[in-house]
Amino acid sequence: MTRLVVLIPALALIPSLCEGQVYGRPKLLQNIGIDQKMGARVPADLTFADEQGKQVTLGQYLGKPVILALVYYTCPSLCNMVLRGTVRSVHGIPLTAGKEYNVVAVSFDPRETFSQAAAKKEEVIRQYGRPGAESGWHFLTGSEGAINTLAASVGFRFAYDSNTNQFVHPSCIIVLTPEGRVARYFYGISYPERDVRLGLVEASGGKIGSPVDQVLLYCFHYDPANGKYGFVIMSALRAGGVVTAGLLFGFMIIMFRRDAKLGRSGARRLEAGNG
């Protein structure tokens, strides 16, 4: 499934887009979008530089669910919106970055440096505002080859516009399983807390999250067409039926025990009266 979610980062792009327009969609946008690759594995051995300039691999951040954001740090608008949307979403969920999951941002501009990544990380960590967040948020830079390989593995298609010195790209975040497989895509620049939480819990195979999350996963189903979780009425009815049956069974046990206790008490009183 191909998804086109493109927000033009600046009005300055419009003239250059129109110059190459053929039919309907501007030429520059014809190869921009997201090809869903559910279950595809990202190459864990891809090498990047972290915020300190140290060589790292993607595999170092696996072992727990990962929120992957493909952005570039000098983007004038859209990438900042993606990162702010991610912060807003995860700030409101009980799971903590670095403990139950990791957030990995990778710049798709090979010209960017680790110092730019460090500056962006500092900004985002300040917005997130949780103690120890440094261990859960990672901002990487890399070579054009590594970037293109990663982007292709998750179906993220972007292009560079030399006229404006900017990139045209889709906007989304991607949830990976602890093994590095694509589990969920969330589109746009705003990601509902519930959806991201359920995506992380589901990607972990239920190893993180609360019992309530497990019930919600039963009642809500991920729709890949719009990148959201929707309410599933039959599952909800089944879940409600299970809960109702459990409550009824518990009530019956309480009543049986109460009746038995009253029966024993009555028998003792009768024996005392006969004595």
Topology adopted by domain 2-203: Glutaredoxin (3.40.30)
Q: Which residues of the chain are under the pLDDT cut of 50? A: 8-22, 233-237, 239, 242-243, 245
In this structure, the number of other CB atoms found within 10 A of the CB of residue 258 comes to 10
Structural domain boundaries of the chain? Answer: 2-203
- Stated as kind and residue range, the H or E segment containing 57 is strand 55-57
Q: What is the phi/psi pair of residue 15, to 5°?
A: -60, -45
Report d(CA 53, CA 75) in Å as an integer. 21
Report the pLDDT value the prediction gives residue 21, as an integer from 0 to 100: 46
Q: Global pTM?
A: 0.73
Euclidean distance between CA atoms 194 and 110, whole angstroms: 34
> What pLDDT is recorded for position 217?
53
At residue 252, the pLDDT reads: 63
CA distance 220 to 195: 9
- The pairing of strands 66-71 and 102-107 is parallel
Query: Residue 14: its pLDDT value, please?
Result: 41
In this prediction, residue 30 carries a pLDDT of 73
